[in-house]
């Protein structure tokens, strides 16, 4: 099946810093989503982005489908951005497959 690799596995930032999270996948995809899991465990859908670029406030995402990667940008990070960020992809008619996530800690 499709493989999903996220990097880095852990990231510590000072409040106000910018960061880039990466998601590599091993096959062509028809669906790619980014999720944020907050410290209380809640999973929130951030972006549906199988290709192209989207922005939502301080967060933006870019997927280059032909090169099989996606990037999540967080600008001017805040402590509320802490948590785990997951990338999930789908190929063909199979269910979504999740990466292992990037754990982000933003320190005041």
Partner 1 sequence: NAGVTQTPKFRILKIGQSMTLQCTQDMNHNYMYWYRQDPGMGLKLIYYSVGAGITDKGEVPNGYNVSRSTTEDFPLRLELAAPSQTSVYFCASSYMWGAGEKLFFGSGTQLSVL
Contact flag: residue 100 with partner 1 (CB under 8 A): yes
Which residue in the set 63, 74, 81, 99 belongs to the binding site for partner 1 (CB under 8 A)?
99
Residue among 106, 32, 40 nearest 65 (CA): 32
**3-state SS, one letter per residue, for 7-57:** ECCEEEEECCCCEEEEEEECCCCCEEEEEEECCCCCEEEEEECCCEEEEEC
Judged by beta carbon, residue 72 or residue 99, the one nearer partner 1 is 99
Of the pair 17, 59, the CB lying nearest partner 1 is at 59
Near partner 1 in 52-81, by CB under 8 A: none
3-state secondary structure of 96: coil
Summarize as ranges the residues that interact with partner 1 (CB under 8 A): 4, 30-31, 33, 35, 41-45, 48, 50, 86, 88, 90, 93, 95-101
């Amino acid at each position: 099946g499709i493989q999903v690799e996220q990097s880095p596995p852990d990231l510590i930032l000072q409040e106000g810093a910018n960061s880039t999270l990466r998601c590599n996948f091993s096959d062509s995809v028809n669906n790619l989503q980014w999720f944020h899991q907050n410290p209380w465990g809640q999973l929130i859908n951030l972006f549906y982005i199988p290709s192209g670029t989207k922005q939502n406030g301080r967060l933006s995402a870019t997927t280059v489908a032909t090169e099989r990667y996606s990037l999540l940008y967080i600008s001017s990070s805040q402590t509320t951005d802490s948590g785990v960020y997951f990338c999930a992809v789908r190929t063909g008619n199979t269910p979504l497959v999740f990466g292992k996530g990037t754990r982000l800690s933003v320190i005041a």
